[in-house]
A and B are shown apart, each in its own frame.
Chain A
Amino acid sequence: MDETASYPPIEPSNFDLIVIGTGLPESILASAASATGKTVLHLDPNPFYGTLYSSLPLTELTSFLQSQSQPLTPENDESTPQLLTLPLYSSIEINSLSSEPIENSRKFNLDLSGPRVLLCSDSMIDLILKTGINQYMEFKSVDASFVGDAEGNLGSVPDSRSAIFKDRSLSFTEKNQLMKLFKLVQGHIGKESGEDDLISEEDLESPFVEFLDKFGLSQKLKSIILYAIVMADHDQDNLENCKDVINTKSGIDRLALYHSSIGRFPNANGPMIYPIYGQGELPQAFCRRAAVKGCIYVLRMPIAALLMDKDGLTYKGVKLVSGQELFSNQLILAPCFMIPSRLTPAAQVANSYDVGRRDAKEMVARGICIAKSSVKPEAANCLVFFPPKSLYPEQETTVRVLQLSSNVAAGPSGMFVTYLSAMCKNAVEGKKLLDAAISALFSLPICGNSENNGIDKLSEHTDSKPILLWSALYIQELTMFQDSFNSISFTPLPDEHLHYNNILDATEKLYQKIYPNEEFLTQTNLSDESVDDDSSELD
C-alpha cells in the first residue's frame, strides 16, 4: 500500500477504454483502440508486462503460478465490488533437483503459457508486420521438429522437399508418397479459380485421416502429418471418440500454411520462429505501439474495486488501490480476473454461454523443464511431438514439447528450457501425459543423491538423455468462466495450441464487438523502416 500510495495521480481520469492486464489480447486491444484515436488507460497490477502471456525469471514464475492458483476472497464486504482473482492454475508441482537453476533465476525467461511458436506465414506474423512491431523484436528459427516415442527416440519430421530427400529413416516409397501429397496440396492451394479441383468436394469434407489412408500413406507418415504438421490434439484414428476430427479441408489448409511458412524469410531455416527473450516480448511490443499512439501505461497498480452506476449493474469505472477513481466507457479485463457473481446478470450469462465448451470441461497441462543438455544434440531450439498412443496405449492427446536454448535467451548459457503441453480432462491425466513425456526425454537424478554432489557425476552417465535439473508442472483452465456483459469484456485465455491464431481471432472478434465501426489495426506506414525488411530482424 505504501508503494502504490506514492504514485502520482493519473491524468486525465476519464477514458474511452480501460484495459486491465497486459496479456497478449489485452495489449493488442489497447494498441488497436489507441490507434483509432481512443483514449486508453492500460493497467496491470503486476510489476511486469504480459500477465498470462509473460516470460518471467524462475522465482517470479513460481510465485505468479502460486498467486493465480487460489481465489482471492474479498477482505470485507464493501458496497463497492472488488475485482477477484480467478484460480486458473491448479495442481502446481515444482520439482527442484538442483539448486543451479534457482541460483540463476534472473537469467531465465520462462514462458507462462508455453510451448508456443510462430509459423512464419500465420496471421500473427502478418499482424506483427502490419503493425511494424517487428522493429521492437528479434526472432530465431526453430531448428527442427521431431516425433518422439516412449523410449525417447526422436524421429525427424520430413516437412519439406529437401527434408524428405535428406531423411534416412523413410523408405524410398514413403519419400515418393509424401512428396506426392505435398505436391497435391500445393497444386490444390495454388490452383486458379475455375480450374478443376484436384481434390473432390466430398474428400474435402471427409476426415483428413481417411484422405491420408486413401493416399496410401504408412502409419508413420500419417502420424507425422497429423500430429507434427497439422498438429492435431486428439487421436484421429479413433474417429468416434475424437473431439477434434480434422477434415480434409482444414488439414490441407494447415499443411499449406505450414509449407508457405518455410522459406518466407530467407534467414529462417524452418517454418517456425520464436521471439528472443521469450513470448512475453510480444505483448510488450504491442504495448509499446499502443504507448506510441497515446495509450497510458501504469504497472504495479492493483484495482481496489469496480465502480458501478447507481443501479449497481452498470459499469462506470475503477477504483485503484491508490484510491483514485477513474472512469471509462468500456472495460477490458484479462481472464484471470473475476467479477463478483452478484453483478453478472444471470440471464445474460446464460445466453452467451458456449454450452458445449462448458459441459466438457477442458484443461491444458503445462510443464517447464530445465536441463543442461539438449534432448537432441544437433538441435538447440526444437519441437518434439508425442502423438496419441506414442507414450502409452491410453494416451488420448498429443504432448507437444518445445526446447529452447540460451540463444533465444530462454536461460543462462549452457542450459536448455523445455516446455510441454497436452490437453487433458483432469489433472491426473494431464500429469500422467507430461510425466510420460518427461521420462521419455529426460533422465532423473538417482534418488538419494543430494542436490549438490550427485549431479555432475550423473552428467557423465551412460544414458545420453539430458538430466532434469528443475521442473514445474501445472494445470491451466481452458474454459472461460466469464463472458462480456454491458461494458465489461474479458479477453481469451491462453489456449492449448502451439500457435497464436485462435487467440488472435478471438481478440479481433472481441474488438469488433466493442468497436463495431472501427478498423482492427491498420497498416502502419513506417517512414524509413520497411515492413518487408522483417527478415533483417530475424536472426
Chain B
Amino acid sequence: MHGRPRKAPTQEEQEASSLKAVKLRELQSQLLNFHRNKIYTKEAVDISTKLLESNPEHYTGWNYRKLSVQNLLESALDSDSVQSILDEELRLVENALKQNFKSYGAWHHRKWILSKGHSSTDKELRLLGKFQKLDARNFHAWNYRRFITALKEIPDEKELQYTTDMIYDNFSNYSAWHNRSVLLSHLMEAREEGYSGKENVLGEEFEFVRSALFTDPDDQSGWFYHLWLLYQTLKREPLLITSWPSIGSNIQLSVNGYLDGQSLLPVLHFKSKARKYPIILCFNEAVEGVNSSTVTVECEYHAGDDLIWTPLSANKLDFAQAWLTYLNFPDEVNSLKPYSVKITVAHVPGITSLSGAPCSTTHTSFTVCVSLHDLKHAEVQTMERFSWKEENFRARATQPQDANLLHSLGNLKITMENKPIASDWSMDTISTEIAHCRELLSATNCKIGKLTLARLLMAHNTLISYSRPNDGAEIHYDEILALYRDLMKMDPKHLCYYEDEYSLALLKQLTSNTESLLKYSYEYQESTSPSMKSNLCLRLSGLSLSRLGSMECLLWVQMLDLSHNKLRSVEGLEALQLLSYLNLSNNKICSFTALEPIRMLKALQVLDVSYNEIGAHSVDTSRYLCSSPMNHAVGNDWNFEEFANGGIKLNDHWDAFLVFKDLNLIQLEILGNPVVNDQLKAFLFKIMPALKWLDGDNCN
C-alpha cells in the first residue's frame, strides 16, 4: 500500500476511465435528481448503490443514503426489517471500501450505521482484523477501530496489547504508535491499575521504542513516538517565569524622563507622560484566564480589582505567553517614599495552558518610587533623527557597575519561593535518552537522531534552568547549535525549520546569564545631540536569527537592534512593552502582516524596517499566521469612511494600515523594500500624524 510509484496510465486505461466517467456522470445526475426531489424508492436507492460502489468519494451520495435510510427506518415495521436495512448499508460500505480503502465518506457512513446500535461490533472487529492485515498502517481503519472499541467498551489495556502486537509485526507503523500514545494517555489519566505512575509507564515506553530506533534509525515512525514521550516527560503545569518590573527590583518612575542622580542601589527607570506603568507577566507557555480575579495585585494605592489584563499575542486569541496591565503612578503627595507591589498568580483553576493544566501559585514583587526631580525640569522635546550608526554605540561589558545594573535587569527569573523544581525523574530520563541518542549517533549518521539529540539537550537545559538557574551545570548550547548547523547541511529541505530552532537555541544561550547578555549590551550616546539621554541598547545583530525567542528574559529592553539577521517573523516581540527603539533592517521580512506583533508595542517611537523584502513576493506566505481584515478579531473599530474621505485608497495598503495605525511612531525607515513608493509614504504620513521622520525626510 505504501511506496508504490504511480504509473502513467496506458491508452486503454485512459479510455476505460473516460468511459467510466461517462457512466458515473449519468448515475450522478440521476442521484442528484432523486436527492433534490426526495425520492427514496427502491429503484432510486439502487442507483445510489451503483454510484457509491464505483465512486465512494461521492459525498452527496452518502448524504442521500443517510436520508433514505432514515426514511426507510421510519416505515420499518419490526426489528428484523430495521436490521436488514442497516445490513444492506454495511454491505454497501464494505463494497465501497473494497473500491477505495481510504474513502472518508464510506468510513463515516459506517460509523453512522453502527451508531444506530443495531449491528454486531464483533463482526466489525473481524472485518477490521482483515483490513488491518492488508494494510496495517491505514489510519482510517485505526480511527474506526477506536470508534468500535469505544462502542464495544474494550478495555484500553487490551487495545494497547493490540498495538504492541502490530508494532512487533512491523514497527514502521505511525498509526499503531499513535494509537499507543492515545491509549496510554487515557490509561495514565484514568490512573488505571499499573498505569498510575507516569515514571514507570514512560520509562518502559522509552525502552520499547528505543529498540525500534536502534534497529532502524532511518524509520521515522518510532522517532515520532519518542517525541511524544519526550513531551510527556517534560509536561508540567504552566508557570509564571518572569515579570516586569522584575522580582525584587526597585523602580523609579518619572513623567518627563529626567531621572534621579546616581543611586547606589540598582534602579530601573521608567517614564511615562500618561502617568501609568505597565506590568507584564510571562509564563513558560501560552495560558488563558489571566484577569483580576486570578491575579491579585497588592499595593498601598491600588485596589487592584479593576485591572484589565490583555494577552500579548498576535494570533492565539485568548491564549498568550505574556500578559499586560497598567498601574497608575501614585499620587504625588504619596510618592515620596517607596512602596511595594506584590503580585500573586493564584493556584485556582482559572489560569490554564492550552492542554488545560492549571497554573500553580507564584508571587512576584517590586518596589516603586516616583522621581523627585520630575517637577523641577521643563520638558525638552525637540526630537532629532535617531541614528543606528555604529559610532553611536559603546560596548558596556567593561564597566563593572553595568554588570550590577544588568544583573538587576536580567535576573528576572522567578525562582525564589515557588522554585519550580524539575523532578529528578524527568532529569534522569532526559539524561538517559541523551546518552542513548549519542550512542546511536556514534554508529549511525541519522538526521532525525541528531534532531532528537538537539531537542533532548534543549529540554535538559530548560530543566536545569528551572531547578538550578545560573549554576553553570552542564549547559549544552554549543552542541545544540553545532547539531543544527549540521542538520542544515545534511537536510537542506528543512532548512527553515533548522534555522528557526537554531535561532531559539542561540537566543536561549545569549539570555541564559548576565555575562553573555552583557556582551551584547551597548550604550547609546549620540555625540551631536546632547538632549538624548544615554540609553542601554541590546544589539543582537548579525546572528543569523530567523525567529525570535526567550523574550521573557528581555522584558526590560527599550532599545533593540536586530538588524542583519534572517528574520522572517517577529513573533514574540509583542512582549517587549518597554521597547521604544527597534531596528529590524536587513532581514527577510516579506510583508507588513509579518510585522503584526509590533502593533502591540505602544511605546515604540523609532522603527527601522529598511532593506527587507516587503512587497517582494506577490503571495504573502506569512498571512496564514497572522490575522487579516477578514478575521473578525481585528478591525472592528476601523473607521473606513474617515480614510475614504481623505482620498486614500485603503485597499492598496490595508496591511500597512493594520500594522501602523495604532502606533505612535516618530521615526520610520522603510526604504529598500520593493513595496515603497511615494503613494505609500503619503499614506503612512497620513495614518501616523505623529511621524516626523520617514526615511530621513522630515515631514515638515
Contact surface of A with B, Cβ cutoff 8 Å: 161-162, 164-166, 172-173, 175-177, 179-180
- On chain B, the residues within 8 Å of A162 by CB distance are 168-171
Bound state CA distance, A161 and B214, in angstroms? 11
Residue on A nearest B212 in the bound complex, by CB: A165
Contact partner of A175 (CB less than 8 A), chosen from B168, B170, B211, is B211
Contact partner of B216 (CB less than 8 A), chosen from A161, A166, A172, is A161
Nearest-Cβ distance from residue A333 to partner chain B, whole angstroms: 49
- On chain B, the residues within 8 Å of A172 by CB distance are 210-211, 214, 436, 439-440
Residue on B nearest A166 in the bound complex, by CB: B168
B358 close to A (CB within 8 Å): no
Residue on A nearest B436 in the bound complex, by CB: A172
B621 close to A (CB within 8 Å): no
- On chain B, the residues within 8 Å of A165 by CB distance are 167-168, 171, 211-212, 215
Bound state CA distance, A175 and B214, in angstroms? 6
B56 close to A (CB within 8 Å): no
- Do B168 and A176 have beta carbons less than 8 Å apart? no
- Do B214 and A173 have beta carbons less than 8 Å apart? yes
- On chain B, the residues within 8 Å of A161 by CB distance are 170-171, 215-216
- On chain A, the residues within 8 Å of B170 by CB distance are 161-162
Bound state CA distance, A164 and B212, in angstroms? 9
B81 close to A (CB within 8 Å): no
Nearest-Cβ distance from residue A266 to partner chain B, whole angstroms: 9
Residue on A nearest B443 in the bound complex, by CB: A176
Known: A162-B171, A172-B210, A172-B436. A177 touches B215 (CB 8 A): no
- On chain B, the residues within 8 Å of A173 by CB distance are 214, 439, 443
Contact with A along B158-199 (1 / 0, CB 8 A): 000000000111110000000000000000000000000000
- Do B443 and A164 have beta carbons less than 8 Å apart? no
Bound state CA distance, A235 and B313, in angstroms? 71
Chain B, interface size category, equals 10 to 19
- Do A177 and B216 have beta carbons less than 8 Å apart? no
- On chain A, the residues within 8 Å of B168 by CB distance are 162, 165-166
Residue on B nearest A216 in the bound complex, by CB: B443
Beyond known contacts A173-B443, A179-B214: 11 more, CB 8 A cutoff: A161-B171, A162-B170, A162-B171, A165-B167, A165-B211, A165-B215, A172-B436, A173-B439, A176-B215, A176-B217, A176-B440
Q: Which of chain B's residues 191-234 have a Cβ closer than 8 Å to chain A?
A: 210-212, 214-217
Nearest-Cβ distance from residue A198 to partner chain B, whole angstroms: 16
Q: Residue among B211, B217, B436, B440 with the most chain A CB within 10 A? A: B211
Nearest-Cβ distance from residue A364 to partner chain B, whole angstroms: 37
Q: Which of chain B's residues 394-440 have a Cβ closer than 8 Å to chain A?
A: 436, 439-440
CB<8 Å pairs between A and B, sample of 19: A161-B170, A161-B216, A162-B168, A164-B215, A165-B168, A165-B171, A165-B215, A166-B168, A172-B210, A172-B436, A173-B214, A173-B439, A173-B443, A175-B211, A175-B215, A176-B217, A176-B443, A177-B443, A179-B216
B444 close to A (CB within 8 Å): yes
**9 pairs of A and B residues whose beta carbons are closest in the complex:** A172-B214, A175-B214, A176-B214, A175-B215, A165-B215, A164-B215, A179-B215, A165-B211, A176-B443
Q: Residue among B216, B217, B443 with the most chain A CB within 10 A? A: B216
Q: Residue among A161, A165, A175 with the most chain B CB within 10 A? A: A165
Nearest-Cβ distance from residue A220 to partner chain B, whole angstroms: 16
- On chain B, the residues within 8 Å of A166 by CB distance are 168, 211
Bound state CA distance, A172 and B216, in angstroms? 11
Nearest-Cβ distance from residue B443 to partner chain A, whole angstroms: 5
Residue on A nearest B218 in the bound complex, by CB: A183
Nearest-Cβ distance from residue A225 to partner chain B, whole angstroms: 16
Bound state CA distance, A162 and B168, in angstroms? 6
Bound state CA distance, A172 and B437, in angstroms? 11
- On chain A, the residues within 8 Å of B440 by CB distance are 172, 176
- On chain B, the residues within 8 Å of A177 by CB distance are 443
- Do A176 and B169 have beta carbons less than 8 Å apart? no
